[in-house]
Structure 1
Amino acid sequence: MTSTAAMTPAATEGLHEALVRLGRGRLGALAAVYDHTVPAALRLALARTRGDRAAAEEILARAYAEVRRVAGDYPASGLRGLPWVLAVVARA
């Protein structure tokens, strides 16, 4: 897993490619998206729930389902991969 602060250019590129593949219907790419983003996504979800781990995990379940559903919108968003995923988590 990669933390937000430590995302290297290679990790950023790997996340971008995984999101593009996911957007093209390659559902196996969701695992790579998850691996690249879950530390930051969990921190955001925990902040939203004031530390309630169960509620945060429910947010993440909804968020990653939404990431899978709308990944085709990612390339046109103009955002980098991590901010795009975190925006989805913020709305979940």
Structure 2
Amino acid sequence: MLFDDYNKIDLTLLPLEELDNYLKGDKLIKVLIDKDCRIKRDIVPTDIDYHVRKPSAREYDDCCNEFWNVTPYVIKGLCRKEILFAIDILIRLFAMSC
């Protein structure tokens, strides 16, 4: 919702049966109004789930190995003039969550 003063909120309406699961999901939730007192605990918004952590040595090695094993597929695709294949592999390389 966008208000006249250009403040924006995300309004979420959901069935009562899903309330507990919703509150356990994203930790950036801020409840503005609980007029029926259905939420029994204080909810403090936190971005802890979005903090980037340093990978372990094993995770780093696995990521590097995956990169060096998949990179030649991009070159092969380009040499074979299979541009869509090369782009797909390149996108997968950029999307690696290492």
Q: Which has the higher contact order (CA 8 A, sep 6+)?
A: 1
Q: Looking at CA atoms only, which structure, 1 or 2, has the larger radius of gyration? A: 2
- Normalized per residue, which structure has more helix? 1
Give the structure-1-normalised TM-score.
Answer: 0.28
